[in-house]
Homo-oligomer: A and B are copies of this chain.
Amino acid sequence: MLIVKKFGGSSVADKEKIYNVAKRCIEDYKKGNDVVVVLSAMGKSTDHLIAQAKEINPNASKREIDMLMTTGEQISVTLMAMAIDALGVPSVSLNAFQVAMHTTSKYGSARLKKIDSDRIKNELASKKIVVVTGFQGINKFDDFTTLGRGGSDTTAVAIASALHADLCEIYTDVDGVYTADPRVVPTAKKLNEITYDEMLELATLGAGVLHNRSVEMAKKYGVELIVRSSLNKNEGTLVKEVCKMEKMLVSGVVADKNAARIAVLGLEDSPGIAFKLFNHLARHNVNVDIILQSVGRNGTKDISFTVAEDDLDEAVGILERHRNTSLHWENIDIEKDVAKVSIVGAGMMTNAGVAAKMFEALYNIGVNIKMISTSEIRVTVLIDEKHVNKAVQAIHEKFVLGE
């Protein structure tokens, strides 16, 4: 079997952890498998590099920041290769130039286009464990790029796809994907399987286990993922196209506190006004989630929407810059202390009344719903942030997601 294993920065943060990962890789190798390991930068090293850059130039170009960042993974892969070697198994580390991981040109958030698999295949053929830098690539200018958040997961999936790997394991600090955050809902249960689509909704909603780009790529190329813990040998959660097990109505409940609501009041009610508004935001990469439009006073309209709380200031700034030029509005109202709570489940597609059941759970505990958004396999509500934990618990219980 050819196995691709991906470990994040916290799994390689020090000597002991590096050796733990090395031993796990060697276990698979000794069973006769070909093993490729994809690594992020060690622990806080990326933060340290960013701090160094900020000290020199707070407005450094993204091209130079990426060139700086990529040293982080290069360090972790070499140390890992040294550790594997010290345990008696030949190993080699490779960076984005050596593998040839071609990406689009955009620094800081490049997308993988093509991975040359020859070098990795040759190293595997000479019975080495191959340790590859995650998160980084090279663009057509022969410059380093980075893939943005969750980039190493994407690297692992892309390599698994390019090599036609039998398995792609994503190691995290949790056992797999749960029906809810176990810190909030003690009865939360680990899922043995989940579909790509469900995982995508969870990833987008901030479940934090897998980044949505890696799931999208896995779905596109049919790479089956296993999400499992680097701290124990538990089975983990398999992410695949169709789950064989009898589907529960809802797979999980997830909360996202990184949300803020913006209400643009008294917008001029002319055709294309919503397009213009959201186009301005999109051009600055501000992602908008739930959108509500209502009729305002005096022939105007009001548009409310949510953004990531991190993007709030930029979103408001954009709206103000375009006030009285392309946009005309009276007032902006913002609310920071809100959170999104969502239920996700492939079973929802064929079952009515799921949303109503969720709203009932919230009504029973007296939580007011501010906004609602739905997709085929998801229902999301916006509520006060202070109620988020009890809301997740109540919904989890309502759908009997625990044991």
Contact = CB atoms under 8 A, between A and B. Distances in A.
Interface of A: 15, 18, 49, 52-53, 55-57, 59-61, 63-65, 67-68, 70-71, 74-75, 77-79, 81-83, 85-86, 92-93, 95, 97-98, 119, 142-143
21 contacts: A49-B75, A52-B79, A53-B78, A53-B82, A56-B79, A56-B82, A57-B82, A60-B82, A60-B85, A61-B81, A61-B82, A64-B81, A64-B93, A67-B74, A67-B81, A67-B93, A67-B95, A71-B71, A71-B74, A98-B143, A119-B142
Given A57-B85, A68-B78, 9 more contacts: A15-B56, A49-B75, A52-B79, A53-B79, A63-B92, A67-B78, A71-B74, A74-B74, A98-B142
B61 A97 contact: no
Contacts of A86: 56-57, 59-60
A255 B370 CA distance: 82
Contacts of A92: 63-64
B57 A68 contact: no
Q: Which of A15, A82, A86, A95 has the most CB of B within 10 A?
A: A82
A284 to B, nearest CB: 23
Contacts of A15: 55-56
A95 B92 CA distance: 20
A142 B82 contact: no
A95 B98 CA distance: 13
Nearest to A131: B64
Contacts of A52: 75, 79
Contacts of A49: 75
Contacts of A56: 15, 18, 79, 82-83, 86
Q: Which of A60, A78, A85 has the most CB of B within 10 A?
A: A78
A78 B52 CA distance: 10
Contacts of A77: 67
Nearest to A49: B75
Nearest to A96: B97
A156 B85 CA distance: 34
Contacts of A78: 53, 64-65, 67-68
A18 B52 CA distance: 12
A86 to B, nearest CB: 4
A318 B98 CA distance: 38
A346 to B, nearest CB: 44
A75 B55 CA distance: 13
B64 A85 contact: yes
A61 B83 CA distance: 11
A75 B85 contact: no
Nearest to A22: B56
A100 to B, nearest CB: 9
Contacts of A63: 92
Contact of A85 (B61, B67, B81, B95): B61
A81 B93 CA distance: 27
A7 to B, nearest CB: 15
